Structures are given as structure tokens and as C-alpha cells.
Amino acid sequence: MTQSITEAKVTGSKLWITIAAMMASLMAVLDISIVNVALNDIRSSFSVQLDQIAWVSTGYMMANIVVIPMTGWFQRKFGVKNYFIYSLIIFTLASLLCAFSWNLTSLVVFRILQGMGGGAIIPTASTILISRYPKEEQGMAQAFIGLGAITGPLLGPSLGGYLIDISSWHMIFLINIPVGIVALIILLKNLKEENFFPSKQKLDKYGFLLLAVGLASLQYVLEEGNRNDWFESPIIVLFSILSLACLVTIVFQQLESKEPMIDFRVFKNRNYILCTSINFILGTTLFGGSFLFSLYCGTVMNYTPLDIGILFLKGCFIQLLIMPLIGKIVNIIDKRLLIGVGIILVFISLWYNSHLNHFSSQFDLVFVLFARSIGLSFLFVPLSVTAISFVEPKGIGNAIGLFNLTRELGGSIGLAWMSTKLVNHIKEYNNILNTHVIEGSFQLNYQLKMMEHMIYGKVDNTYKAAEQMLQNRVSLQATIESFNKGFLTLALVFLLSIIILILIQNPKKRVISSEGFH
């Protein structure tokens, strides 16, 4: 009888396999966001229009989210070891090709190739560590993967800015080469998969086409919607309809299949669908909040990319200490309690963030990151373990792939949502504040006289200069109010996770079986 991947044994040094998995995961997640700070430099290098350069990010994310839900099928077909190594090779080679791109088209093509490799890395790394670690150490396995999955979006923009400062945009891709090579060497020497027999299940070409078109269209809408006034654009409307039609069709098609390529039946599991819902909200908050925070530091606080990088390091280093600790205690303390603590801490961080202004100290900014980092550490490990605690071993790869997909989709929605809201809020608050600056009012004249006095003798026309200073103040205040509203919105949305948490069953009664893996 043909054995499946769930009956194979993943063996080798836990330490070295973990190190390689963490290196690959951090590298793959970083490349989702690290390129964003280099877009202007890339645009200048290739002399392309502003609306074209976005495809450097869009192409990667499209390939990324298409590959992630296919993880289970590829693992059954090639084995977790082979699939992980092939994906890492593709990602590393594509990174090299990206660095040596000769025009925008070549860079987008290589970014799509890079996204195909990167999309497989995190879910497959999770499957490998879950397979390699005994059942009592599943929390620790998830903690190690969590360090890369959570730290990547936080450090991506700042690390990218630092690399561009000291070199050029090519460095954000070249830095992947030594990391990828070292990870490959470690895996080839230490990762073993015994008794694996490839699945005879054929690729569902119709289902794969629906998946690829549906998710790619959705990602295009999320990436380009804000730049095209959303549903005012016929192209956005077209891709929205196409995405909805394809994704609804593939769900029903896979549910009716006796051998589904993607098993959506896992969502019948109560804990899985509840944890996946929180994971979706987590992705929205993590990516959306990181986007707002990085932009806030640069726009309002006038921090340089290097300043922002140092700020993130100060605020996020605690994750390196807290995440392994949570992995140790996750099977001792009620996982729902840990998730609840994480939700409250992330909420406090976002709420505090919504009350900052341009007079806020660096301590205030570090505190926001510090509280959020601890909260995310409390969330990621117990949430991941609880999600798959009642999933059968044969469905682990499929479940992890879909679990990761929800966080990525949540992140894409969070970025698109916050980007749109920020632009709209700035216009709204500018109009509101400008209505209070009524020409001829006592307050206006008083402010202008004070400003004229401050700059007397420094400029030729003190009145015009004072008017410009006042307008700058209004614009700054409108920007701050807009950022604060965005953070507060994310805080309130994330607090809804508490309602979902109440419905989760205690997973202590059952831990993932590791039989057949060891």
C-alpha cells in the first residue's frame, strides 16, 4: 500500500533544522515588505512611471498567496524535505536575478518567481518543525516559526531603508543570497525524511486555474484599488467580480471532490475556523499597524530610515525572549488565557498609539512597539497550536497552508484599508481644521502676529511666511489626527477578537499527535 506524507518520518538535528527553518522564514516574510521602501529608488533607476512601479510588490504578493494554499498538495506530492529545499532554491536564485534586473519587466518577472518560492517557505517550515518536534514540544516549534512570521513585517521597512542608505536598492535582494545558501547547506546536511512515498493524486488543473486567477485578481484589487479610486475604476470592478466568481467556484468545486487539492472541510473544525478568524484579524492589524507606524515616524516625527530601524530594534527585541518562553508554557497554561492576554496587550499598544503627537518622546514610540511585541508573542504560539489541535495528522500541511493564507490576506486588506483611510482622513481633517481658520478672526490674527514676531528680520515678507507656517501647522495636525484615527480603528477592530476567543474550546484535551513523524 502506498504511504502518504503523514506516515513519513522527519528526522535530523532539531537544533540545526530549527535554525535553517527560522532563517528561511524570516527571509521570506521580510521580502514582502522590505522592498516597499526601495520603490522610489527602483523607479528612478529604471525611469518608469509611479503607477507602474507598484507591480514590484504586487507581482510578489500575487505569486505568494497563490502558492500558500497549495502547500498541502505539493508536500504530499514531493515530500516536505524536497519541497522546502526546492522552494528555498527558487527563492534564493530569484533574489539574485532581482538584484541584476535590467528593467522593470524583468524585475517583476523575477519577483513573481521569488514569490512562488517564498510563499511555500513558512507553511512548509511549520510542517517540518511540527513533524520533527515531539507532541509535548509543539508550542516551541510554533514559537520558532513565529519569530520569523511576526518579526519580518515589523523589521522589513526599516531594514530596507538602512540597506539603501549604506548601499543601493540591489542590496535588499543580495542580502538573501548568503542567508539562503547557509540555510540550504544546513538543511541538506541535517534534514531527513524517511519512508516517504509521493502521492499519486494528480494536479487539479481546473481548480488550480480558479485558485490562481481568483487570488491573483483579489490581490490586484487590494494593491491597486486605492490608486484607481476603487470601484470608480472599471478595471477594479472587473477584477473584483472575477475574483469573487473564481473563489466561490473553487470552494464548492473542492468540497464536492472526493480527493480535493485543497481541503476546505478543515473549516468545519470549530477551533480551526475560530482561530483562523483571529489570525485574519491579526494579519490586518499587524500589517496595517506596521504600515501606519513606519509612515508616522517618517512623516510626523521626521525620523530617517536608520532612526526607524533602531526604533524597531529597541521595541521588538523582547520577542526573541518572550516567544520561546511562551512555547515552553503553552501546554501548561490554558491557551485561551494566553491568547486573551495577547489581544489585550495589542489593543493597549494600538490605543496608546492613537493618542501620540509630534511632541511624543522616543520612549512613547518604543513603548508602543514593546507592548505590541509582547502581545504578538502571547498570541502567535497558542493561536497556532490551538488552531491545529483537533486537526488529523494527514491534514496538517493543508491546515497550516490555509492558516497562513488567512494572515497574508488579512495583511493585504489591512494595508489597502489603512492606506485608503489615511488619504481620506487627511483630506477630511484638513477641511475641518481649515474651516476653523477664518480670515479676520481674533485667534487667526493673534497667531499670525506671534509668528511674524518670531521670524522678524529673518525673511523679507513676514506676513506671507507667517501664513505658510500656520498652514503647515494645520496640515501637520490633520496628518496626526488621521494617523490617530487609523490606529484607533485597528484597536477597536482587534478587540473584536475577544468575542471570538470566548467561543474557542479548551484544546488541552488533545494535542497534535506526532505518531508517524518520529
Kindly state whether residues 20 and 47 are assigned to the same domain: yes
Kindly state whether residues 48 and 172 are assigned to the same domain: yes
Kindly state whether residues 345 and 468 are assigned to the same domain: no
Model pLDDT, residue 220:
84
Domain hosting 372: range is: 5-201+261-425+485-509
Percent of the chain with pLDDT over 90: 22
pLDDT at 460 over 70: no
Kindly state whether residues 502 and 359 are assigned to the same domain: yes
Kindly state whether residues 181 and 320 are assigned to the same domain: yes
Summarised one tens digit per residue, pLDDT across range 326-367 is 888 888 888 899 999 999 999 999 999 999 888 888 899 999
Summarised one tens digit per residue, pLDDT across range 496-511 is 999 999 998 876 654 4
- Closest-CA residue to 382 (of 134, 22, 142, 133): 142
**More confident: 350 or 222:** 350
CA gap 372, 350 in Å, rounded: 8
Question: C-alpha 232: how far from its chain's center?
Answer: 28
Q: Is 469 helix (H, G, I), strand (E, B) or coil?
A: helix
Kindly state whether residues 180 and 311 are assigned to the same domain: yes
Kindly state whether residues 458 and 405 are assigned to the same domain: no
pLDDT at 147 over 60: yes
Kindly state whether residues 369 and 432 are assigned to the same domain: no
**Measured in Å, how far apart are the chain's first and last C-alpha atoms?**
20
| Residue 518 located in a structural domain | no
- Closest-CA residue to 79 (of 165, 160, 4): 4
**More confident: 58 or 27:** 27
- Closest-CA residue to 85 (of 121, 126, 119): 121
Question: C-alpha 165: how far from its chain's center?
Answer: 24
Q: Which residues contact 509 (CB under 8 A, 6 or more apart)?
A: none
CA gap 166, 160 in Å, rounded: 10
Q: What are phi and psi of 193, to 5 degrees?
A: -130, 110
Model pLDDT, residue 462:
64
C-alpha cell at 157: 521597512
Model pLDDT, residue 359:
84
**Is residue 137 a contact partner of residue 72, using CB atoms and an 8 Å limit?**
no
Kindly state whether residues 325 and 434 are assigned to the same domain: no
What's the rounded mean pLDDT across residues 190-206? 81
| Residue 516 located in a structural domain | no
CA gap 159, 149 in Å, rounded: 15
Q: Which of 245, 260, 275 is the last residue of a domain?
A: 260
Kindly state whether residues 89 and 234 are assigned to the same domain: no
- Closest-CA residue to 305 (of 160, 161, 155, 156): 161
pLDDT at 38 over 90: no
Q: What are phi and psi of 246, to 5 degrees?
A: -65, -45
Q: What is the pTM of this model?
A: 0.79
**Is residue 121 a contact partner of residue 149, using CB atoms and an 8 Å limit?**
no
Q: What are phi and psi of 298, to 5 degrees?
A: -80, -40
**Is residue 127 a contact partner of residue 141, using CB atoms and an 8 Å limit?**
no
CA gap 153, 290 in Å, rounded: 7
What's the rounded mean pLDDT across residues 418-425? 79
Q: Which residues contact 252 (CB under 8 A, 6 or more apart)?
A: none
C-alpha cell at 46: 529604471
C-alpha cell at 383: 493561536
| Residue 41 located in a structural domain | yes
Q: What are phi and psi of 306, to 5 degrees?
A: -65, -40
Kindly state whether residues 66 and 125 are assigned to the same domain: yes
| Residue 341 located in a structural domain | yes
- Sort 457 into a burial class: Cβ within 10 Å, 0-12 / 13-18 / 19+: exposed
The total domain count for the chain is: 3
| Residue 515 located in a structural domain | no
Kindly state whether residues 245 and 372 are assigned to the same domain: no
